[in-house]
Structure 1
Amino acid sequence: MSTDEQNTLTLPDPPFDSISAVRYSPTNPDHLLVSSWDTSVRFYEVGEKGGKESEAKAKFDHRAPVLACCFSDGTHAFSGGLDTSVRELDLGTENMRNLGAHSDSISAMAYSRDANALITGSWDRTLRFWDPRAASAQQSSHETPERVYHLDLVNNTLVVAMASRLFNIYDIRNMNTPAQQRESSLKFMTRSLACMPTGEGYATASVEGRIAVEYFDPSPAAQEKKYAFKCHRQTIDDVDHVWPVNALAFHPIYNTFASAGSDATVSIWDHKVKKRLRQYQKFSNPISSLAFNCDGTTLAIAVSYTWDEGEAGLKTAERPSVIIRKLGDEIKPKGWTGS
């Protein structure tokens, strides 16, 4: 058995169709949500290899494919997708509550514990804020110049990636106008986005095998530090193959990050020294989503067909799976001292 196999386990009862997102609980390192194009959100308790078995604790069925999910606390979560409804999920009772709706598909969501607000983004070109405790859950709606593809949040800073390679950066305490508006450093469509846990900036990636590392500080000195690099590429028989980078996730402690692509690989990067720390063994399918758990001990990997080759690719695609990888020192920056 290879080292990679020793350090991984596969969750039971995976979705039947492509996985749109894997998201860990902010408080419990063993609780994971998995949303899918099979119109469900599954809630798992992750076990240990050779120890407690992993278990699918609950399943929430929707009317259409689910594109986004997130936790608010240890017992509640949210979901949204092609049926346009924003749903609150009670993980203990398996009850679902409809909070309201967008006028088009919901593509992304994040929960702010500081503001007690769920933030959703949609192809209807709006961002909406929701408070599930209020009688009228929708608190506000904010127009965006383009369809929202991805969003992520660190502290009070919200980054929104849109169509036409546009980015808006907001302070969620003042949503009247974006704090910054940017165009992507990458030439092709944005496929993934993740904020640094340190609050310094974010990473974004494109369909054309590139990642950009960006900083929030607009000063020329800070902007000089931003850069982009090629990845998830391979030369096969003298032909360059380039794959979309479907997922990015930052480690909550070390501020290194993982990237995953349609080439079925996951790489770990130290963006400060511009180096790859590790590439894991190739998986059986492309990878559609990634998430580190809250204490940084495991990485959830959604191994799932991503439709890059259309219906033709389905013939060789395996059923989706969620792999949990136990992490070691490969995730630490060189010379890490704990500061």
Structure 2
Amino acid sequence: MADSTTLPSPPFDSVSALHFAPSSPDRLLVSSWDTTVRYYDTSDTAPELKAKFDHRAAVLACAFSDDAHGYSGGLDTSVRELDLSTEKITNLGQHADTISSMSWSNSQNCLITGSWDRTLRFWDPRLAQTSSQTQSHSTPERIYHLDLIDTTLVIAMASRLFHIYDLRNMSSPTQQRESSLKYMTRSLACMPDGQGYATASTEGRIAVEYFDPSPTSQEKKYAFKCHRQTVDDVDRVWPVNALAFHPVYNTFASAGSDGTVSIWDHKVKKRLRQYPKLNTPLSAIAFNKEGTKLAMGVSYTWDDGERGLKTAQQPMIVIRKLGDEVKPKGWPGN
């Protein structure tokens, strides 16, 4: 694809998460089941692997705080700070079980991690010499995903449960919800405009939700089918593995095990674009801070078990340059 670049030295196993740096539009963190976090320069002229951080087990989550520091967590239960210039790893502390997700809060200046041990924990890396953990909050179920916008934190848990918190008062969730989707939550992303979030399931559906609990706002929520194919008159339904909102236009991308990425304008309930289908599932996606690039983790997601592994292709990280297809209709300059 002429408008795409494949990064060198990809992981050897499935990509679990992708995140661009908060200020540099070309710097990317990639966590993988191959027990590494890779740090890339994705510039068009000479993309390169800048650093690789080895872990003791599969890494499921990564995040940036600033352009110089990353964080990681996974099956070995350790929360780590990664110094991206010196390649030094600092252990900030432990969960009691696998770390499934993490995000940096600018408003609270801390790292927030979610785990299968049914806790949310807050970490201040400046306290690494003593104890970096500053808060711990129990949740009713294993945490699968979390995302935040400003001071609003959303966590998606097992049993299709969702909790919404105000980071300024973590004594209890401000809202407790059940998923609008019938099957297990596979992905979650908050809207940049702070109005709500999108969530997706293993059963080829996406739900668009709003934070405002008023009946007027709740009437706007909806769910729709996607990432489906008809093969020999049989409907094949694929998991929606990843969602990401465009930082400027508030449209969002979805990536599925069907090997496709679609761009959606959720305000008018329309798909703006579906990119050419790949032969391998997409496990993770991320927009850069300017919304000019979309990083795609192309790797086997175990939908077909060990049988599928035999024909699975080597994982790839593909960077797609974006044009007007990510803009809503009627956007100035469109």
Q: For 1:295-306, what aligned pairs fall within 5 Å after superposition?
A: 295-306=290-301
Look up the SS of the partner of 1:72 in the other structure. strand
What letter corresponds to residue 90 of structure 2 in structure 1? R
What letter corresponds to residue 185 of structure 2 in structure 1? T
Task: Please give the TM-score of this superposition, normalised by the length of structure 2.
Answer: 0.99
Q: Which of 109, 114, 119 is residue 112 of structure 2 equivalent to? A: 119
- Answering whether residue 151 of structure 2 is matched by residue 156 of structure 1, we say yes
CA contact (8 A) 1:33 1:41 kept: yes
- The CA distance in 1 between the partners of 2:51 and 2:29, in whole Å, is 10
- The CA distance in 2 between the partners of 1:323 and 1:289, in whole Å, is 11
- The CA distance in 2 between the partners of 1:337 and 1:331, in whole Å, is 13
- Answering whether residue 280 of structure 2 is matched by residue 285 of structure 1, we say yes
Q: Which of 54, 62, 74 is residue 67 of structure 2 equivalent to? A: 74
What letter corresponds to residue 61 of structure 1 in structure 2? D
Look up the SS of the partner of 1:276 in the other structure. strand
Once superposed, what is the RMSD of the aligned Cα atoms?
A: 0.9
1:266-310: CA deviations, max 9, x gaps? 000000000000000011210000000001100000000000111
The offset of 1:113, in angstroms, is 1.1
Determine the structure 2 residue equivalent to 1:93. Answer: 86
Contiguous gaps of at least 5 residues in structure 2: none
The offset of 1:200, in angstroms, is 0.2
Determine the structure 2 residue equivalent to 1:24. Answer: 20
The offset of 1:316, in angstroms, is 1.0
- Answering whether residue 155 of structure 2 is matched by residue 192 of structure 1, we say no
Q: Which of 309, 321, 337 is residue 332 of structure 2 equivalent to? A: 337
Between stretches 329-338 and 126-135, larger displacement belongs to 329-338
- Answering whether residue 59 of structure 2 is matched by residue 58 of structure 1, we say no
Determine the structure 2 residue equivalent to 1:243. Answer: 238
- The CA distance in 2 between the partners of 1:81 and 1:26, in whole Å, is 22
CA contact (8 A) 1:43 1:56 kept: yes
Determine the structure 2 residue equivalent to 1:254. Answer: 249
What is the percentage of aligned positions where both structures have the same residue?
A: 73
- The CA distance in 2 between the partners of 1:334 and 1:105, in whole Å, is 42
- The CA distance in 2 between the partners of 1:167 and 1:59, in whole Å, is 34
The offset of 1:110, in angstroms, is 0.2
The offset of 1:60, in angstroms, is 0.2
1:55-75: CA deviations, max 9, x gaps? 100000000000000000010
Determine the structure 1 residue equivalent to 2:136. Answer: 141
Contiguous gaps of at least 5 residues in structure 1: none
- The CA distance in 2 between the partners of 1:164 and 1:33, in whole Å, is 30
- The CA distance in 2 between the partners of 1:26 and 1:304, in whole Å, is 25
- The CA distance in 1 between the partners of 2:290 and 2:262, in whole Å, is 20
Look up the SS of the partner of 2:19 in the other structure. strand
Q: Which of 77, 82, 101 is residue 108 of structure 1 equivalent to? A: 101
Look up the SS of the partner of 2:126 in the other structure. coil
The offset of 1:315, in angstroms, is 1.1
The offset of 1:162, in angstroms, is 0.1
CA contact (8 A) 1:209 1:231 kept: yes
- Answering whether residue 124 of structure 2 is matched by residue 131 of structure 1, we say yes
The offset of 1:136, in angstroms, is 1.6
Q: Which of 196, 200, 204 is residue 201 of structure 1 equivalent to? A: 196
What letter corresponds to residue 74 of structure 1 in structure 2? D
Determine the structure 2 residue equivalent to 1:44. Answer: 40
Query: Which contiguous aligned blocks of 4+ residues in structure 1 show a shift greater than 3 angstroms?
Result: none
1:168-216: CA deviations, max 9, x gaps? 0000111110000000000000000000000000000000000000000
What letter corresponds to residue 64 of structure 1 in structure 2? A
What letter corresponds to residue 37 of structure 2 in structure 1? V
1:145-182: CA deviations, max 9, x gaps? 00000000100000000000000000011111000000
Q: Which of 309, 312, 315 is residue 317 of structure 1 equivalent to? A: 312
Task: Please give the TM-score of this superposition, normalised by the length of structure 1.
Answer: 0.97
Q: For 1:157-236, what aligned pairs fall within 5 Å after superposition?
A: 157-236=152-231
Q: Which of 300, 321, 324 is residue 326 of structure 1 equivalent to? A: 321
Determine the structure 2 residue equivalent to 1:274. Answer: 269
What letter corresponds to residue 3 of structure 2 in structure 1? N
CA contact (8 A) 1:210 1:230 kept: yes
The offset of 1:78, in angstroms, is 0.3
Look up the SS of the partner of 2:289 in the other structure. coil
CA contact (8 A) 1:284 1:303 kept: no
Look up the SS of the partner of 2:66 in the other structure. coil
- The CA distance in 1 between the partners of 2:165 and 2:240, in whole Å, is 25
Look up the SS of the partner of 2:216 in the other structure. helix
